[in-house]
Amino acid sequence: MIELNLDLAYLSYYYALSTKRINQYAARDPENLITLETMAGAVTLDREEFMKLMQHPSKVAKILQLERPKNRYLILRNLNERDLAKILPYLSSEQLAWGLQYFTSEKLEALINKLPTEQVATLVFQHFGMMDILDLMEDDKMNKFLKSDKLEKQDVMKYFAQLDDDKFRNIMMKQFGGSMENKGRGEYLKMIDEMNPDKFLEFLMNFDRKDKMELIAGLCEIEPKYILEFDNEDLSKPFMLMDKDKILKTMPILDPEFLAPMIEELPPELIQVVATQIDPEIFAEILVQEFPDVLMEMLLE
């Protein structure tokens, strides 16, 4: 049996135990009685009354002294991996993220890159802008983005339409020479808009690296969904170059639904440690609702 430090004083108060009542128990059928033996001592109780008591989470928390992390841990040690997974969703993002410290930096990077792309972006944009991401991105990855059939020409035109005159003029002159110098914004926009698809793509491919980075960053600002066109590994690169401690401090911004599966990849003995952070009252409710057999087995074996 798990030797929890049960609150025998509370039990005595709840049952109004006295020498007289305990003597009355002695004359009853032993099958109707239970004896709880703990590190702090032993007490004999009416089995039926005790079973009813176990249906009240607040009383369970009090009797089992679940405010003590050690008691919570001793109970959690008896749950299998599948049952431990049921506990994790009741932890907060901060509590789950705390457990990520047990992963190596390499494993943590792999777990982050398995997240949905929008969640990776959420993490990265806490510290970096799109230009920081693109600065570390290979040219062929940027070209792949510009070749995507998800990219709408109308959004590209919106980008050009908001450029300042000097920037727009420099781009056109780099591509088409000095004849562009004395033309105006309207002429530039008309010329680009009338390009056939192949010519339009060639025009974008010929941007120099900095202009291409600014184009892509501008497109992602105009339509944030374009960020999802990048691979997670490319988006997360600047984030994963940070110190592990800084990465861990950022992780609680994710919802528990994304953090819990990460923790499930820890060895069971470490999942138990993470799960020990659970709120005592919530833990008592889970024991009563999800694991009544475990609860009674612990107390009555």
How high is the pLDDT of residue 206?
94
User: What is the reported pTM?
Assistant: 0.80
Q: Residue 78 — pLDDT band, cuts 50, 70, 90?
A: confident
Kindly list the distances between the CA atom of residue 13 and the CA atoms of 8, 16, 247, in Å, as whole numbers in the listed order: 9, 5, 49
How high is the pLDDT of residue 2?
47
How high is the pLDDT of residue 160?
95
Tell me: the pLDDT tens digits for 219-270? 999 999 999 999 999 999 999 999 999 999 999 999 999 999 999 999 999 9
Please tell me the total number of residues recorded for the chain in this structure.
301
CB 125 within 8 A of CB 133: no
How high is the pLDDT of residue 19?
42
33-71 burial, b at 16+ Cβ within 10 Å, e below that, comes to: ebebebeeeebbbbeeebeebbeebebbbbbbbbeeeeb
CB 4 within 8 A of CB 71: yes
Q: Indicate if the pLDDT at residue 169 is higher than 80.
A: yes
How high is the pLDDT of residue 29?
53
Q: What tokens were used for 48? A: 């039926």
Among 8-17, 59-68, 289-298, the range scoring the smallest mean pLDDT is: 8-17
Whole-number Å distance between alpha carbons of 253 and 38: 42
Tell me: the pLDDT tens digits for 174-216? 999 988 888 988 999 999 999 999 999 999 999 999 999 999 9
Q: Indicate if the pLDDT at residue 31 is higher than 70.
A: no
Q: Indicate if the pLDDT at residue 74 is higher than 70.
A: yes
Tell me: the pLDDT tens digits for 264-279? 999 999 999 999 999 9
Whole-number Å distance between alpha carbons of 192 and 255: 43
How high is the pLDDT of residue 184?
87
Amino acid letter, residue 287 = L
Q: Residue 128 — pLDDT band, cuts 50, 70, 90?
A: very high
Q: What tokens were used for 9? A: 């004083």
How high is the pLDDT of residue 41?
54
Q: What is the mean pLDDT of the chain?
A: 86
Tell me: the pLDDT tens digits for 138-163? 999 999 999 999 999 999 999 999 99
Place of tokens 């099958």: 31
